[in-house]
Structure 1
Amino acid sequence: MKAFTATRDEAATVRLSEVPEPQPAADQALVKVEAYSVNRGETFQLERPPGDGWRPGKDVAGLVVQAAPDGSGPAVGSRVVGHPPALGWAEYAAVPTGQLAVLPDRLTVEQAAALPLAGLTALRLLRTATRHTGHLAGRRVLLTGASGGVGHYLTELAAAAGARITAVSSSAERGQRLAELGAVEVVHRVADAEGPFDLVLESTGGADLPVALDRLAKRGLLLWFGQASRQPVTLDFFRLLTGPTSATIRQFSYADVDEPDGADLATLVRLAAEGRLHPELGTVRDWHGTPEVLAELRGRRIRGNAVLTIC
């Protein structure tokens, strides 16, 4: 079968190659991949691939063509969305059944493919924030790097929970969409945001994180879940003494869970099918365009999610 493999070449980080068709383990279903999503974090991972047997691909949607040998998971013919650990940019993928959710007819594979990594990140960020704040209704939230797939989901989900969101987006066009999804204010720079904020969701790192931290309310929470700027963060403890009192800074990983992703994937699918969560398809292209999409994602030229389809 055909699949995208890592090249270790900076100019073109993937190429379409012939690879063996996967042989599913007992708890894995074989999925004919019809669409997959490419995330900006994967562009960074491709710069330093983990190993020779690794292939990219965490967000897939398609059709179950072989059920799991142990009898778990969806039956043959089920339309599914999945979140395998890798190997998804291929014609077929073996996906653990705990990492699958069945799709209703009203949801397209393109919409579904945009849900897993970005949607799981947003859902779990807000779940973590709620454990700290007790609830989001009426809370002031600052969201940096809001123009990507995670930012769109965060804005819509937090607004639905009653939060008052200030979103940071350098683009007026992208900011307009965030306002449509529920942001009460959109600013072009973190420095333009007027605090204090009960919660900061920070994904750019570099110089932005200390500026965002300055706008945190007393005993507020900053969840740090990315470093899109590719720049390290420097914090001055003495500056903190004149800033927010007893601020909490917490590093967040969406993968820090004890259960498989299937239940949360099913929640995202349900919300999207009910029209309460809208996958933001910044581009949908034939999968042969994957190398170009990767370059555009690295250059931050795509708003929302990038989805590739396999015909």
Structure 2
Amino acid sequence: MKAIVYNKYGPPDVLQLKEVEIPRLEDHQVLVKIHAASINFGNLVLLKGEPYLARLAFGLFKPKYSIPGGDIAGRVEAVGKDVKEFQIGDEVFGDLSGCGWGGFAEYVSVPENALALKPANLTFEEAAAVPMAGVTALQALRDKGKVQQGQKVIINGASGGVGTFAVQIAKSLGAEVTGVCSTKNVDILQSIGTDHFLDYTKENFTEKTERYDLILGVNGHHPISAYKRVLNLNGRFVHVGGSGSQMFQAMVLGPWISMTEGKKMGTFLQRANQKDLNYLKKLLEDGKIKPVIDRCYKLSEVPAAFRYFEKGHAQGKVVITI
């Protein structure tokens, strides 16, 4: 099979398209013929080995996993004898970040709990855009952010992969949602039902008088003291992405602020979860959320896709058609 392979950390140029063996199928695994995959921030960490702390999980001196790629959508080609949930021919989607990655390839063998049945109303490309970004948004809002119906939520970085899902999921949970984006992305936020818009090129929401019950920091560079200023009492700030200094502050200062000032502030790490994939599947099939795709690349164009993605201006998801 064809696959994107690398054996050292670095820029997108270290990625190479090669012929490799189709992965062996274990008794508890499903062999999936991959039709589409997508890029997330975690893929960039895996590629570059930065921040260096990540190398404790991904390989200290060279990549532990030679084929990157987390989000996939495809069709089941074979099943191990212990597999109970899927059968040959099923269309599936899933997140491979917890079971060895390997999504930028024509085939992958994965445990069945990494997959869910693909939403019937989505193409493979649309389904591949969902797992990691969608589950990240869901867990950050529902589990870490404890969002409640009627609360005021602001999402900083609302037009990217996680942000576009966060807007829609927050709306599905009954929140009043403000999206922070640049001028060129306002139309995207309007199309997915955002209640209010703030253009960060024209105004800084942390300097305004409006207060929020939940701030989701998907992107940005504000110090957490600025976020704290615009939180309601008992409000929450959840750091999902953004500058390294912001992540450090959320990890180090967040717990202290949470204990002393009546405002919960902290960082968050997504966990791949089949139950949450099925939750998103229901929202997708009911039309309550939809993937936003910026552009698609071929498998041979994965290095170019990474070069585009790392600029940080993607509107929704960057997808790989395989």
Tell me whether the two structures share a fold, i.e. TM-score over 0.5: yes
What range is the shorter-chain TM-score in? 0.7 to 0.9
CA distance in 1, matches of 2:119, 2:214: 34
Aligned-pair distance for 1:225?
1.6
More helix by share: 2
Alignment of 1:56-205 (within 5 A): 56-85=68-97, 86-129=101-144, 131=146, 135=148, 137-169=149-181, 171-189=182-200, 191-192=204-205, 194=208, 195-204=210-219
Aligned-pair distance for 1:245?
4.2
RMSD of the alignment, in Å?
2.4
Stretches of structure 1 lacking an aligned partner (at least 5 in a row): none
Q: Size of the alignment, in residue pairs?
A: 297
CA distance in 1, matches of 2:120, 2:235: 42
Aligned to 1:212: 227
Is contact 2:4–2:299 with CA below 8 Å preserved after alignment? no
Aligned to 1:17: 18
CA distance in 2, matches of 1:266, 1:275: 14
Aligned to 1:249: 265
* Cα distance change of structure 1 residues 13 and 303 upon mapping to structure 2, 3 Å threshold: farther
The percentage of counterpart residues that share the same residue type is 29
CA distance in 1, matches of 2:15, 2:315: 22
Aligned-pair distance for 1:91?
0.8
Match of 1:265 among 277, 290, 294: 277
Is contact 2:70–2:132 with CA below 8 Å preserved after alignment? yes
Stretches of structure 2 lacking an aligned partner (at least 5 in a row): 50-54
Q: TM-score, normalised by structure 1?
A: 0.87
Is contact 2:70–2:96 with CA below 8 Å preserved after alignment? yes
Which deviates the most, 18-27 or 278-287? 18-27
Is contact 2:223–2:249 with CA below 8 Å preserved after alignment? no
1:226 aligns with 2:241: yes
Q: TM-score, normalised by structure 2?
A: 0.84
